[in-house]
Amino acid sequence: MELKDYQKKTIGQIRTYLEALSSFKEKNERLVKEDPELSIDFPQKAWEKVKGTVHVSRKNGLGEHLPNFYLKIPTGGGKTLLACHSIDLINRSYIKKQTGIVLWIVPTTQIYRQTIGHLKNREHPYRQVLDVSSGGRTVILEKTDRFTPQDVFENLLVMMLMLPSANRQNKEVLKIFKDSGGFTEFFPAEDDGAGNERLIKAFPNLDCFSDSDSIFGNIAKTSLGNTLKALKPIVIIDEGHKAYSEGAQATIRNFNPSIIVELSATPPEGSNKLIEVSGQELNREEMIKLDMHIKNKASPEWQDVILAAVDRRCSLEKIAMTYESNTGEYIRPINLIQVERTGLDQRGARYVHAEDVKEYLIRQCGIAEKEIAIKSSEKDDIEGVDLLSKTCEIRYIITKHALQEGWDCAFAYVLAVLTNPSSTLSITQLVGRILRQPNARKTKIKDLDESYIFCYRPKAKDVLDNIRAGFENEGLGDIVGRITLDEGDSGNVNATKERTVEYRERFKDFKGKIYLPKFIIQEKNSWRDVSYEMDILGQIDWARISLNTVKDISLSENKTKEEDITVNIAQDKRKLIDTKEDYVQNQDGIELNSVFVARQLLDIVPNPWIAFDIAQRAIKILLKGYSKGRIANSVVFIIEELRKIIEKEKDRLAEELFKNLLKSKTLWFLLLSGDGGYRLPGSIRVKNNAKALVRYDNTPIQQSLFDFVPEEGFNDMEKSIAVYLDEQEKLLWWYRNLSRQDYSVQGWKKNKIYPDFIFTGAEKKASKSYDKVYVVETKGLHLKNEDTAYKKSVFDFCNELGDKKDWRELKLEFSGQKVEFQVIYEDEWKNKINKLFEIKKC
């Protein structure tokens, strides 16, 4: 495999450092022979000579100076290949032998499988480098494999180990430090007291049986862990930032390595960066797909992001097919989709789930199921699949975080982010999944030499800032290096169990008696909750929908109306990356037809025939002002705009229908007891290990309806409101209403409104009675939007209906009581609460 220029330069720099390291090591050995106190930090001396920068010195488990350096190689730059060359250079220039043992540590199962697969394949460039280094005597091992001193003497052994396995504190893998009997040839016989004494003196950090465990005294365990300590291996740490917890560092150093080489695109502070390859070098060598286009979809619906990503992928495949017919080189563009949930029991919540996306791709986008794969801890549709093969049909891979690191496919061109990544590191490495250029060679076709990101919740500028921060050469902070992968349960089974919490003693008289009003429909002699699907959506007269505003959709011949940010490496070394905002012409990836457009409307319009009719009408309107080709070129934008129009029309007709149902007394806003009514729960369930909500002075909450309120689920604003309520003298009790579980109001839109708090004021001081119940929804300032305006209009409508209602008319025990609904914002909540309780400002 021919090396790129930056790879040749990197190998040269490593060689220079190792030669200096060897020279200073020999000098140190001469000095120590004369006087141990003359010992020098030879790795630091070599570093000062070659780099001239600050060096962070470390020692191994024997207290010896430990050479260690970092290769900072951007994603797609060939870190693993350079690691193999580093092993060759270390053996030639520093250790000066072709055999021995290498401990190759990786952080994730994905990286483990991929790396060991490549190293075991004699045809792969990685293995070929090692075979050249060892003279064809390379042996790849796993921790369950056994080997002998002769194997070490005659071969280059490369043992793969997971980082959790290397962590001495991980109880599940302590077996590698246990006496196994499989490595007895490396140790003196049990009855060889002198031999054991010499061994332990030479390696005092070996795990040993205590004197009381053996009649022969202190004896080293014949474990894999002790064998590695005695062999003083070369250590390679892939994704080195994962190994920067104190436990992981201590464990790795305790293997008594002769040298440590760490690799990552995002090195943490405190690392000795010997090599720093720039993105510009990778781009010049045609290793990565740049420019990168970050598309920020204005729509709040994740389906629109998927639709745009599908369109981009489809257009790329058409171009790739033409490219293959001209060159014979096969490319099948793949769309990666990051979702919020993948667990089997997590579907149906307010998060974007992998199965929801898969279902949408199949039903709405017409994608064949065989072209869709899910990659998660529970389901791995791509395991063992050669994604680069012409026989592979996978074009869409849905994941949560399983592809952040260690996954490599140059066919991945499009990334759809349906969640806000939790960290700069996370988004940087997700972006890295689509950077690698097929065949490490540009196609000379712009579309196939670039990459594409489609955003859902975050603003494109925010993602851009994260990418910029992720590529910063310095100042990442300790938090980045301390991010670790949690691949298992905590093992604390009791923590997941729940307990029942009852009303406070002084409020037990209210148990089962706190009712709240709701919208209901009377059927014969019974009441039922209003159903959005049946009573509202199902009754909308779609013939009355107006498409007049479709004619206002403006189509540009050469520009789309969505934001397109282009990211490239800056030529100016004082800048990290260059950006430019541009508008790109759609490549006609999705054909224009009424059936396809109608399919994208079915989640708004439940009847496919009506959706088809709307699609036809809209296209006819547009054809009056634009050519068919121009409309087809903007089909994704048209669908987005059409969905907005239909959504507004649907809401207008739904509100009109809702209020007409009330006028006709088909729909009622009533407070009922017994069957058909809503009452607050008589008990709640909380986790055993739940942390209690407390006041800011750490005193217990006093006025909550239940005697325990878990802190979990409160944001900062909600916690402040809860604590403030709890401190009010005129408050009787308050209750934290749980979303999707407790009290809700069904308005004329699909989603029910779940208020955050329900509370009452005492009629008199120390009174246990109340005349008004407050139902409160809280909103941050950044959430003042159309949805909030809808909730306020529904609550205002509820108050209007409540003012006209005397709950006594139903002959219930609600004489004189009122229910008041409020939406309060972050900048006004304290004044609002003061007003509700008629508290005078100080």
pLDDT, position 471:
41
Q: Sorting pLDDT into bands at 50, 70 and 90, what band is 243?
A: low
As a whole number of angstroms, the distance between CA 452 and CA 381 comes to 23
Lowest average pLDDT, out of 415-419, 568-572, 633-637, 684-688, goes to 568-572
Q: Is the pLDDT of residue 262 over 80?
A: yes
Instruction: Please report, to the nearest 10 degrees, the dihedral formed by the alpha carbons of residues 606, 608, 609, 611 taken in order.
Output: 70
Q: Is the pLDDT of residue 565 over 70?
A: no
3-state secondary structure 152-221: HHHCEEEEEEEHHHHCCCCHHHHHHHCCCCCCHHHCCCCCCHHHHHHHHHHCCCCCEECHHHCCCCCEEC
The arithmetic mean of pLDDT across residues 624-648, rounded, is 85
Strands 292-296 and 334-338: unpaired
pLDDT, position 772:
84
As a whole number of angstroms, the distance between CA 420 and CA 458 comes to 6
As a whole number of angstroms, the distance between CA 396 and CA 384 comes to 16
Lowest average pLDDT, out of 99-103, 352-356, 740-744, 782-786, goes to 782-786
pLDDT, position 604:
87
The DSSP call for residue 838 is T
Q: Is the pLDDT of residue 561 over 50?
A: no
As a whole number of angstroms, the distance between CA 640 and CA 275 comes to 47
The arithmetic mean of pLDDT across residues 72-101, rounded, is 90
The DSSP call for residue 95 is I
| Residue scoring higher pLDDT (336 or 808) | 336
- Averaged pLDDT of the chain: 81
Q: Which residues of 733-744 are buried (b: 16+ CB within 10 A; e: fewer)?
A: bbbbbeeeebbb
The DSSP call for residue 698 is S
Q: Is the pLDDT of residue 261 over 50?
A: yes
| Residue scoring higher pLDDT (809 or 823) | 823
Could you tell me which residues come within 8 angstroms of residue 283 by beta carbon, excluding any fewer than 6 positions away?
A: 290, 568, 569
What are the Cα distances from residue 476, in Å, to 44, 241, 250, 270, 641?
Answer: 24, 11, 22, 10, 41
Asked if residue 761 lies in contact with residue 733, where contact means CB atoms within 8 angstroms, the answer is no
* CA-CA-CA-CA torsion sign (828, 830, 831, 832): positive
Q: Sorting pLDDT into bands at 50, 70 and 90, what band is 582?
A: very low
- What is the secondary structure of 571-637 as a DSSP string? SSTTSSEEEEE--------S---HHHHHHTTTTTSS-HHHHHHHHHHHHHHHHTTS-HHHHHHTHHH
Strands 451-455 and 412-417: parallel
Tokens for 151, please give them.
């194997």
Backbone angles phi, psi at 685, to 5 degrees: -110, 135
SS3 (DSSP) at 670: strand
pLDDT, position 350:
76
Asked if residue 413 lies in contact with residue 313, where contact means CB atoms within 8 angstroms, the answer is yes
Q: Is the pLDDT of residue 321 over 70?
A: yes
pLDDT, position 512:
85
Asked if residue 275 lies in contact with residue 300, where contact means CB atoms within 8 angstroms, the answer is no
| Residue scoring higher pLDDT (298 or 49) | 49
SS3 (DSSP) at 434: helix
Q: Sorting pLDDT into bands at 50, 70 and 90, what band is 729?
A: confident
The arithmetic mean of pLDDT across residues 573-582, rounded, is 46
Asked if residue 654 lies in contact with residue 325, where contact means CB atoms within 8 angstroms, the answer is no
SS3 (DSSP) at 831: helix
Lowest average pLDDT, out of 62-71, 204-213, 260-269, goes to 204-213
Q: pLDDT (tens digit, 9 = 90+) per residue, 404-463?
A: 655 678 999 998 988 765 545 456 556 777 878 888 888 989 899 988 888 875 555 566
| Residue scoring higher pLDDT (842 or 608) | 608
What are the Cα distances from residue 391, in Å, to 152, 325, 330, 395?
Answer: 41, 17, 11, 12
pLDDT, position 495:
42
Tokens for 353, please give them.
């789930």
As a whole number of angstroms, the distance between CA 705 and CA 834 comes to 20
Burial of 226 from C-beta contacts in 10 A (0-12 / 13-18 / 19+): buried
Strands 518-523 and 526-529: antiparallel
Asked if residue 466 lies in contact with residue 571, where contact means CB atoms within 8 angstroms, the answer is no
What are the Cα distances from residue 759, in Å, to 50, 111, 500, 773?
Answer: 70, 53, 21, 6
As a whole number of angstroms, the distance between CA 561 and CA 93 comes to 58
pLDDT, position 804:
65
As a whole number of angstroms, the distance between CA 44 and CA 65 comes to 9
As a whole number of angstroms, the distance between CA 737 and CA 707 comes to 15
Asked if residue 540 lies in contact with residue 614, where contact means CB atoms within 8 angstroms, the answer is no
Q: Is the pLDDT of residue 794 over 90?
A: yes
Could you tell me which residues come within 8 angstroms of residue 54 by beta carbon, excluding any fewer than 6 positions away?
A: none
pLDDT, position 419:
76
CATH 3.40.50.300 fits 281-473, yes or no: yes
| Residue scoring higher pLDDT (713 or 725) | 725
CATH 2.40.50 fits 57-187+222-277, yes or no: no
What are the Cα distances from residue 323, in Å, to 167, 289, 320, 411, 432?
Answer: 48, 16, 5, 14, 24
Cis amide prior to 291 (ω within 30 degrees): yes
pLDDT, position 1:
65
Q: For residue 694, how many C-alpha atoms fall within 13 Å in the half-sphere facing its CB? A: 8
pLDDT, position 430:
67
- Work out the percent of the chain whose per-residue pLDDT is above 70: 80
The arithmetic mean of pLDDT across residues 663-684, rounded, is 83
Burial of 35 from C-beta contacts in 10 A (0-12 / 13-18 / 19+): exposed
* CA-CA-CA-CA torsion sign (33, 35, 36, 39): negative
Q: pLDDT (tens digit, 9 = 90+) per residue, 136-174?
A: 889 999 988 999 999 999 999 999 998 765 555 554 446
Q: Sorting pLDDT into bands at 50, 70 and 90, what band is 840?
A: very low
As a whole number of angstroms, the distance between CA 224 and CA 213 comes to 20
Asked if residue 742 lies in contact with residue 518, where contact means CB atoms within 8 angstroms, the answer is no
As a whole number of angstroms, the distance between CA 616 and CA 639 comes to 12
As a whole number of angstroms, the distance between CA 549 and CA 506 comes to 59
Strands 518-523 and 683-687: unpaired
Asked if residue 615 lies in contact with residue 380, where contact means CB atoms within 8 angstroms, the answer is no
- Which residues are bridge partners to 400 per DSSP? none
The arithmetic mean of pLDDT across residues 784-791, rounded, is 79
Query: How far out from the chain centre does Cα 301 lie?
Result: 19
| Residue scoring higher pLDDT (587 or 11) | 11
Domain ranges in the chain are 57-187+222-277, 281-473, 498-517+671-836, 539-557+594-657
Q: Nearest to residue 101, comparing CAs of 72, 137, 53, 63?
A: 137
Q: Nearest to residue 803, comparing CAs of 815, 791, 820, 789?
A: 820
Q: Is the pLDDT of residue 576 over 50?
A: no
As a whole number of angstroms, the distance between CA 625 and CA 613 comes to 20
Q: Is the pLDDT of residue 646 over 90?
A: yes
Q: Which residues of 359-385 are buried (b: 16+ CB within 10 A; e: fewer)?
A: ebbeebbebeeebbbbbbeebbebeee
Lowest average pLDDT, out of 73-77, 533-537, 727-731, goes to 73-77
Q: How many CB atoms lie within 10 A of CB 523?
A: 8
Q: Is the pLDDT of residue 627 over 70?
A: yes
Strands 770-779 and 757-762: antiparallel
Q: pLDDT (tens digit, 9 = 90+) per residue, 164-197?
A: 655 555 544 466 667 666 788 999 988 888 888 8
- Work out the percent of the chain whose per-residue pLDDT is above 90: 39
Residue type, 279: G
Lowest average pLDDT, out of 92-106, 235-249, 324-338, 499-513, goes to 235-249
Asked if residue 741 lies in contact with residue 681, where contact means CB atoms within 8 angstroms, the answer is no
Q: Is the pLDDT of residue 73 over 80?
A: yes
